[in-house]
Structures are given as C-alpha cells and as structure tokens.
A and B are shown apart, each in its own frame.
Chain A
Amino acid sequence: MGRAKDIIVKVIPSQLANEFVKRHHYSGKVVNNSVLHFGAFLDGKLGGVMQYGNPIDKRNVLNLVETSNKGFNSKWNEMLELNRMAFAPILPKYSESRCIAVSIRMIRKNAPHVKWILSFADGTQCGDGTIYRASGFVLTNIKKNTSLLKYNGQIIADKTLNNSNYKQKGMSAGKLKKMGAKPLTGYQLRYIYIIDKKAQLNCPNIPFSKIKEVGAGMYKGEKTGG
C-alpha cells in the first residue's frame, strides 16, 4: 500500500470540498445534495475529497436493500450515496480504496443508523468502478446510459434538468432531447456497500465479469475490453 496508509481522512467544510471537486472531478461540477464531506490529506495537503449525500431519487432506491427498518418512512435515513469522489494525482496508488474504507469506518462510528452506501460509476466518461470493487462494493446494475445528455458540448444529467431552477427556465430533459441532445455512449454501473451485516440486497448481485461481457468496461475515460 505504500504511502496510502499515511493519508489522514477528516471531515471538511462543504465550501472546501466543493472547490476541490470542481477543480479535480472529471465533470468539473459539484452536486447539490451532499451532506457529508471528507478530505484526504497527505503531508498536510488536501489531495482528495469524498462527498456523501442523499440520492435525488431517494424514493426509488430505498428498497434496493432489505434492512430491519420496514416501510418507506423508517428507511428514510438508513443510507447515503457516495455522490462525488475526486483525487488529485499527488496521492499515491490505492489511496481511493483506503480513503473509502476510512470514510465508511467513520460513518459506522458517527452515524451507526446508516446501513448501506450507494454509488454509481460513470462508464461513459470516467470508469466502470474499479475503485468500488476494490473497496468491497457489490455490483447491482449495469444500465446503458440514457440519462447523461450531451448538448452543445455540455454534459447535462436529465435528473438535474428536472430540478426547479431548470424548470423555471422552461427547460426539461424531453425538450433538450427534441433540441438535439444525445445520450453519451456507454453504461452506468450501480454499486452498493452493505455496512450492516444483517442487511441484505434486494436486487441482483451481478458478477464483475458481466462488465466485460456486455462491453461496459472503462478505465480513466478510455473504453476497455469487451
């Protein structure tokens, strides 16, 4: 693991996390629903950020995992989405998986009611989730991308278009598609990490080999295998 074990993970303010993500995340954008921000420091310098929050479509994902909480209302706070992760090249190899492990340990300690973590790998622009697989996440869905749209050189998520800011401007995903926006080529991969050992997946646990089989492989923005 080398120097990755020297990394210190701390809770950091959202302003700092957002600016770091904006500079280092491939999308150059932050998401608006993060509630917990971790910074990864090496030799006193901020080299990575992980942001956890609530999924935009929380109602649709709560049933992906069966837990001791029954019913929609009681399941409301039992999960988090790791919705942004950005690491600068100054951090050594294996930093990401180590930092994810440390952040989950901190969540387990400070928020023991959180039973599972959801995350998505963007196999259209970034990767198929190597880091998640190395961190103990299971693969639960591989979906051909229909939600990330490219229009006038800009990448826009259709979920973002459904928020009130865009609606106020009269913009919607359907309208943008009619104007010529096209979905990016590639796949979205859904990963889940179960923290509570009594919790069980309520969706398929897909073998990692399926990624290559369907041609969803991507590493650092380059298509692989398949």
Chain B
Amino acid sequence: MKLSGIKPNPTNPRIIKDDKFQKLVKSIEEFPEMLEARPIVVNPEMIVIGGNMRFKACKAAGLKEAPVYMATWGETKDREFIIKDNVSSGENDFDALANEWDATELNEWGLDVWNPELNPDSLGEEFSLADGDKPPFQSLTFTLADEQAEFIKNAIADAKALEEFKYVETMGNDNGNGNGLYFLVAQWAGQRI
C-alpha cells in the first residue's frame, strides 16, 4: 500500500530517540523484507495503530509503499492494541546474548549491549546481595517430549482456571505454574489414598 495514503497516529504514546530512529531507518533500508513479516497496522481511517515508528522510518528510508494490515476491531480494541503491541513480556538474557551473538551486530540492529565509552564517574561502588537463609523455594527441571510438555502445560492451565485452585495451599509460593502443578499432583495423590 502507498505510504502517502496512511496517517500517523497523533495520540501515539511511543517516542523514539534520534539515534535509535536512525538505526531503524538503516535496518529497513538493509532488510526491507522484514516489513512483510511485520506489516504496519492501520484502522479503517488509515491511521496507524501499530508500527508508527516503522511508518516514519519507511518514509525516511525513501520507501513509497509498505505492507499494511487493516484492523477492523473498533476504537476500544484499537486503543488496547496500541498499548499491548508495545508491551514486552520477556527480557533479554544478556549472558546468552554475550555467548551466542555478536555485539557489534546487535548494536547495529538497535540493541544496546556494549558501551566501552562508559564514564566511570557515572558508576557507583554500592550494591546489595541476597542475605539470610536459603529461600524456601526451588526450581525443578525435567526433560519431556514436546507432546508431554504440551499436555502438562495445558493441564496446569486448566487447573489454574478452576474455582478450587483459588484455595490451593501455596506455602508462600507465588509462582502460578508451580502452584498449579502442586494442585494437580495433590489431587492425584488424594485419589490414590
């Protein structure tokens, strides 16, 4: 679709710093195919509700057209989408990034991982470390076949949706999946008595 027919969202709550914007422009220039996988999302009035920065960057990169997805969800869902589209639930594992990826490339792609120019005066000498007893929680790791893992995850999700789950004995644990697993196993154990 022609970019000239699309309007930026005047109430878009997202901003981008100039250097990051320039990286985004460069990224689109070098890898425009990425836009096919992540089209700009517009509402029926052709106002951008997802990808405002990409829209601006496409124009700055000199593109005349870009892939667009038109959403017809209505204003309430459009507003919800604008926020949810930009919520990042996960976080980067910087140890894995350091071991498996190249920092120069990551920086070029817009992820800040390496800043050798850091001013030591801006850094502190204070920190805190965990103190006291071992927390009364532990992680268990199992190896499962994909089908087994899906089965168990679905069972835990189903268990968590039950009314009885609200009354499960958590013993101070606030991990929902852990409590869900305990709930299932406790029920299984109860049936064997």
Contact = CB atoms under 8 A, between A and B. Distances in A.
Contact of A16 (B95, B115, B132, B133): B115
A185 to B, nearest CB: 25
A124 interface: no
B193 interface: no
Contacts of B126: 11, 110
A51 to B, nearest CB: 10
Contact of A106 (B96, B113, B114, B125): B125
B130 interface: yes
B11 interface: no
A31 B93 CA distance: 12
B143 A12 contact: no
Interface string A20-57: 01100000011110111001010011100000000000
Contact of B95 (A32, A76, A107, A168): A32
Interface residues of B, number: 29
A8 interface: yes
B113 A15 contact: yes
A135 B118 CA distance: 28
Q: Is the interface of B mostly helix, strand, loop or mixed?
A: loop
A167 B129 CA distance: 30
28 contacts: A8-B120, A10-B120, A10-B124, A11-B127, A12-B123, A15-B94, A15-B98, A18-B95, A18-B97, A19-B113, A21-B98, A22-B103, A30-B98, A30-B99, A32-B95, A32-B96, A34-B95, A39-B120, A44-B120, A77-B129, A77-B131, A106-B125, A106-B127, A110-B127, A110-B128, A111-B127, A111-B129, A164-B141
Interface of B: 94-99, 103, 112-116, 118-120, 123-134, 141, 143
3 smallest CB-CB distances across A and B, nearest first, come from A76-B134, A18-B98, A10-B123
